Chains A and B, each alone.
Chain A
């Protein structure tokens, strides 16, 4: 059995399946995926738990499977969260550097009227903490809390593009952060469920962010990339530009909707629709599909029927196209489209749909590919399955975290929500 501190686990409770990825850290902190457990989920809709008893059972199955495969005992997990309530936006924080000795922390707010600001002084690590704290002091609805505050670039006296200001001279330190926030109670529900299984939750992480970690290389982040995780219940997306996270979003539409549309349009049961989607689905309407029919085996003594392949594909295509269009509109509104030089990366179960990349390409007018986890080693069978990328990304997130702060850190879980990320964040 591995030493416990070297084992990290990413757990994603998805709408269609629970997936637990077990990773092992070597001495250099590089991650190898050594085990993977999965179980189909019930009791989750649109990325959020609606029946905790059922969902708990599914999580238990997945964890047990992962434990068996990796031959470890899982004690704590990095938990992925999603849901329509999660939002991201950018905010800037400022902090004036006092030329003389630093004042006690409580008085720092009054610094703005300092007369000798122009002189400035050397930036200390505490200043960086302060400025990030200021950037996080935003007006959220009361029931919301911050999930991530991803540090972007620093500005020192207006000078742009500083990645690490410590040791530099300046009078005014500013920082942009990308804040991901959600409704506290809804973020807590999966945490409670996992704790009910006597597992610790090291941290909760936005699924989209985790997936992007699994997929993108540093170079792709630098070029600018859009990662779309087409899940069962939600579609999470993350935009990197110039190496940093600049936009995140959740659309509570996913593969479930595709199945539901098919069930409605073809007048078949949901389980049948799901099966048709997997066997005959396509993101584009195939010219040769016109007039072709798929015979449905009769069950319950119903007469044998046919469904039209053309209709099936058209229903799917319209829904998927709409998902991409909504994301594209969002990015256009943020003026991000021309930053995406590396293109669009698709993962999640939706990445398995034939022609999905072509469809996305026609909507975004960018190079599109199905994501791959090139930067992680381990089980080949896990690493080339797009639906596992979020769980793998969670493990990757954990590995980045542990590399920065070795050994001792297993903080209590609740502060995790509140005050998590800013000190660890040069990772992104």
Chain B
């Protein structure tokens, strides 16, 4: 448990480029962390957090935090998220110390197990309290991994959503469309891991590459946060003279975007294009035009950057967020999150000040913002059967589910 070497850092905004930390949580997170060693990510500090000493030992991360207590007898959490959470609360101070000094903290975790699901939400809270922007990249387990893991993952996702600035979530199940019958289980996990890596890389590139049309990180956070959102992402690349057309085709066929439907349903879309020096405005325009056409009601934020190492390839990273429609959020998380969400205007010039204000509200002892308690929660009773359209493809128009009776949506009383 090394204390962080950079605790003295005056703060990310002051130094220009934000200090970035990537924290891998749980066995999946820690092993993913390995892919961030060196290369593009040389500027990032890596921190591994796990309850399982064995998995942690294999990690090359410079900072390792082993959450341990006598209770576990060195056996890890045994897949119990409650244990993971209790452990993390116990060592809250350690986690917070590890987060100190970073401007941006990316949390990478595979949800479903004990450490990932249990620790990640607590870590996200600790990270936020240090004043950093917190983005979580998490994967949900395959359906075949069983109910318990699914439930744990879902609960944990709700908690993380409540704590972190933004969540990008990869349901592993969707990756089934990327693999075929003969893909081995090792390869499958490599692929799903690779997808998460690409998402992190996309965000990393956004921050570090000199952008022709730059996306401020604040845009990204505003996108992922103000929507109380569930982000989906996709990363595609193509080369050759028709590359702009190809990337759009690949995007629209991308299984993680539900073959493009996710774009249509999203409320905000962030598109980042990267290519070599030969990136032309016409290409950018072509890609953006097609994407905008797909997501008519979304707010589209775009960025373009040149990376000479890409040579003739064009890569596009899309992060789409939509209003999160939780069926029955756990009572203790729904309220505080909502309070930060809809009331505030999305990102504006005063973002950093807003941010500071939030941090200030966070730090003095109180764990959540004081205005959180004013938010009235939705009663779960409001969910309504859609009658004969229960099982048919829903019809959405500007975010409204038109299968629900109009009088009901408009709240016209019948008495």
Contacts and interface: CB of A to CB of B under 8 A. Distances in A.
Contacts of B252: 141-142
Contact of B405 (A143, A252, A265): A265
B281 interface: no
A322 B395 CA distance: 13
B387 A318 contact: no
B393 A46 contact: yes
Given A45-B389, A314-B412, A253 B395 contact: yes
Contacts of A261: 405-408
A260 B406 contact: no
Given A141-B253, A142-B252, A270-B387, A318 B407 contact: yes
A48 to B, nearest CB: 8
Contact of B397 (A45, A308, A311, A326): A326
A318 B408 CA distance: 10
Given A84-B395, A139-B245, A263-B387, A257 B402 contact: yes
A46 B245 contact: no
B294 to A, nearest CB: 8
22 contacts: A84-B395, A139-B290, A141-B249, A141-B260, A143-B253, A252-B393, A252-B395, A252-B402, A256-B389, A260-B386, A260-B387, A260-B388, A260-B403, A260-B405, A264-B384, A264-B387, A265-B405, A270-B387, A315-B406, A315-B407, A318-B410, A322-B402
Contact of A319 (B248, B290, B392, B405): B405
Interface of B: 245, 248-249, 252-253, 259-260, 290, 384-389, 392-393, 395, 397, 402-403, 405-408, 410, 412, 414
A308 B415 CA distance: 9
A49 to B, nearest CB: 12
A214 B248 CA distance: 38
Identify the interface centre among A50, A139, A265, A270: most chain B CB within 10 Å of its CB. Answer: A139
Interface in A82-139: 84, 139
Interface in A255-272: 256-257, 260-261, 263-265, 270
Contacts of B402: 251-253, 257, 322
B406 A141 contact: no
A314 B387 contact: no
A324 B386 CA distance: 21
Nearest to B385: A264
A287 to B, nearest CB: 17
A318 B412 contact: yes
Contacts, number: 81
- Of the four ranges (under 10, 10 to 19, 20 to 34, 35 or more), the interface on chain A belongs to 20 to 34
Interface string A262-303: 011100001000000000000000000000000000000000
Majority secondary structure of chain B interface residues (helix, strand, loop or mixed): loop
A346 B410 CA distance: 26
A196 B222 CA distance: 53
10 nearest CB pairs, A to B: A261-B405, A318-B406, A141-B252, A252-B395, A260-B387, A319-B406, A45-B392, A311-B414, A322-B406, A318-B407
A257 B403 contact: yes
Nearest to B410: A318
B389 A260 contact: yes
Contacts of A321: 406
A221 B245 CA distance: 36
Given A46-B392, A252-B395, A265-B414, A142 B408 contact: no
Contacts of A322: 402, 406
A261 B403 CA distance: 9
Nearest to A138: B290
A362 to B, nearest CB: 16
A264 B405 CA distance: 8
A265 B385 CA distance: 12
B393 A84 contact: yes
A319 B389 CA distance: 15
A46 B395 contact: yes
Given A50-B392, A251-B397, A319-B407, 13 more contacts: A45-B389, A46-B395, A257-B403, A257-B405, A261-B405, A261-B408, A263-B387, A265-B405, A314-B412, A314-B414, A315-B414, A322-B406, A326-B397
Interface string A229-253: 0000000000000000000000111
Given A46-B395, A139-B249, A142-B252, A314 B388 contact: no
A20 to B, nearest CB: 25
Contact of B253 (A50, A142, A264, A319): A142
Contacts of B408: 261, 264-265
A263 B403 CA distance: 13
Contacts of B414: 265, 308, 311, 314-315
Contacts of A139: 245, 248-249, 290
A263 B384 CA distance: 13
Contacts of B405: 257, 260-261, 264-265, 315, 319
